[in-house]
Amino acid sequence: MRELDVVEITKAVKEMCIEANHFLSPDMKTALNKAEEREESPVGRKVLSQLKENLRIAEEEMIPICQDTGMAVVFLSVGQEVHLVGGNLTEAVNEGVRLGYTEGYLRKSVVRDPLIRENTGDNTPAVVHTEIVPGDRVDITLAPKGFGSENMSRVFMLKPAEGIEGVKAAVLTAVKDAGPNACPPMVVGVGIGGTFEKCAILAKKALTRPAGEHSDIPYVKELEEELLERINKTGIGPGGLGGRVTAMAVNILTFPTHIAGLPVAVNICCHVNRHVTRTL
Amino acid sequence: MDKYLKLPLTSEDIASLHAGDSVYLTGVIYTARDAAHKRMSEALSRGEALPMDIKGAAIYYMGPSPARPGRVIGSAGPTTASRMDKYAPALLDLGLQCMIGKGKRSDEVREAIVRNGAVYFAAIGGAGALLSKAIDASEVIAYDDLGTEAIRKLTVKDFPAIVVIDSTGRDLYKESLKEYCVE
């Protein structure tokens, strides 16, 4: 049994909050460059070049890429051979978020109660998804999620008879409804299968897969490519101001489901698709 | 077409602005988002004055990240304007001149823009670091307890924005979608 002090998790989460909000991952930078090459609309190209300039300023001057530094979503894969010591795991993650958002000059965007709406003042709590896996390591993926795009996300409980065409229609509906609100060019995370909540978690997790990488399942890869092409025919474009690049990637994850159902979740992310992973 | 404009805009300025125009704004703008709009709406329903002179004012739907020491403001990009649709027509009828945000507006807001000769600008969503460079001064003037959602008086210089809904009611999002849709 390997022992791991949760202080290490706090330290990693703190650093990851600051890193994710100032330095966009290389896959997303590549995706933005490709978008700029492909865009035909003059206004669209101008928006994309300003987004690249924005990334440069964020890194050089340590100003968050976006003022909405998100609600911290944390995926933890905890090896079953790891013995966590030194405190409570969830509290350790939240302490990391608290320190990262306070010391990193990140915006505190979390309210304690969804209806009373009093700001917690330190961006806690995080939304933590924990999975117990084989091995003696802990993988932490942190994905601060902004709500301009989160608000445009959807769950569709399709009928099995609606099949793959139903899935395509659901994704396109969500993207078109989102339009300029979700800060395009977007990344579209899709979860297919499982249950009501499982497909939503899959869609969120799909957003953390590097843009440009595809599913290992051949038909899913084809579906990702077809959906990306069709989304880019909608004309929404960068900033929603018209153009050829509405999305930079469509990432799909699937899971077994029930004989009676075909759940589909569409989690839309803006061009600031922040995700960092560390292994402890 | 790029236009450099001083705030508050004149009625001639507003008449000359068309959906799709690129503008650079210089002058005073006030930040307000969800919670501040709710409070302003409650103040109005109690017959109280608003924290700023709304006549001719520009409101930026924005809640910044905290400023690092020695800096004016943190990241400062627009938030989704449609969440303020419930409150905007009443403010427009009181003289609100410019709204700066991102995303679609309701028909009620568009009608209030036309009725009052106002304008809705979009700033680039997710470009908060870049946009912060156009802000020269920032001061909380009301609702300090709301943190990032407090009302701030900003002094901006050449703040970049695009006319989305002009005073005739033309909507850039709808027009550009038609131009580039190939479905």
How does residue A274 score in pLDDT terms, banded at 50, 70 and 90?
Answer: very high
The answer to the question of residue A35 being in a domain is: no
User: What single letter denotes the amino acid at residue A147?
Assistant: F
Task: Report the distance separating Cα A189 and Cα A203, nearest Å.
Answer: 5
Check CB contact of A173 with chain B, cutoff 8 Å: no
A135-155 mean pLDDT: 97
- Say if CB A135 and CB A1 are below 8 A apart: no
Residue A93: its H or E element = helix A89-103
Number of domains in chain A: 2
Task: Report the distance separating Cα B175 and Cα B163, nearest Å.
Answer: 12
Task: Report the distance separating Cα B157 and Cα B154, nearest Å.
Answer: 10
3-state helix, strand, coil in chain A (%, to 5): 45, 25, 30
Record the tokens describing residue A83, joined without a space: 């013995």
**Secondary structure letter of residue A162 according to DSSP:** G
Asked if A64's CB is within 8 angstroms of B129's CB, the reply is yes
pLDDT tens profile A181-217: 999 999 999 999 999 999 999 999 999 999 999 999 9
Q: Which of A114, A145, A176 is the last residue of a domain?
A: A145
Record the tokens describing residue A270, joined without a space: 């803006």
Residue of B nearest to A59 (CA): B129
Question: What is the model's pLDDT at position A15?
Answer: 98
CA of B174, closest CA in chain A: separation in Å?
Answer: 9
Question: What is the model's pLDDT at position A248?
Answer: 97
The answer to the question of residue A60 being in a domain is: no
Question: What is the model's pLDDT at position A186?
Answer: 97
The phi and psi torsions of A116 (rounded to 5 degrees) equal -80, -30
Check CB contact of A151 with chain B, cutoff 8 Å: yes
Those residues whose C-beta lies under 8 Å from the C-beta of residue A116, and which sit 6 or more positions away, are none
pLDDT tens profile B14-48: 999 999 999 999 999 999 999 999 999 999 999 99
Question: What is the model's pLDDT at position B183?
Answer: 82
CA of A236, closest CA in chain B: separation in Å?
Answer: 6
Record the tokens describing residue A10, joined without a space: 């706090």
**Secondary structure letter of residue A119 according to DSSP:** B
B133-151 mean pLDDT: 96
Residue B1: is its pLDDT beyond 90?
no
The phi and psi torsions of A157 (rounded to 5 degrees) equal -95, 90
How does residue A24 score in pLDDT terms, banded at 50, 70 and 90?
Answer: very high
Check CB contact of A244 with chain B, cutoff 8 Å: yes
Nearest neighbour of A63 by CB, restricted to B122, B132, B147 = B132
Q: Verify that A140 and A269 share a domain, yes or no.
A: no
User: Could you tell me the CATH number of the domain that includes residue A78?
Assistant: 3.30.360
Domain range holding B78?
A: 2-180
Residue B173: is its pLDDT beyond 90?
yes
Cβ neighbours of B102 in A, within 8 Å: 148, 180-181, 183, 239-240
A55-80 mean pLDDT: 97
User: Could you tell me the CATH number of the domain that includes residue B168?
Assistant: 3.20.130.10
CA of A4, closest CA in chain B: separation in Å?
Answer: 34
pLDDT tens profile A230-253: 999 999 999 999 999 999 999 999
Q: Verify that A187 and A212 share a domain, yes or no.
A: yes
Asked if A54's CB is within 8 angstroms of B126's CB, the reply is yes
Q: Which of A145, A178, A209 is the last residue of a domain?
A: A145
CA of A83, closest CA in chain B: separation in Å?
Answer: 37
Cβ neighbours of B82 in A, within 8 Å: 181
pLDDT tens profile B73-101: 999 999 999 999 999 999 999 999 999 99
Look at the block and give the residue holding tokens 């100003």.
Answer: A63
Those residues whose C-beta lies under 8 Å from the C-beta of residue A262, and which sit 6 or more positions away, are A157, A158, A159, A160, A162, A163, A166, A167, A192, A193
Query: Does residue B179 sit in helix, strand or coil?
Result: helix
pLDDT tens profile A120-134: 999 999 999 999 999
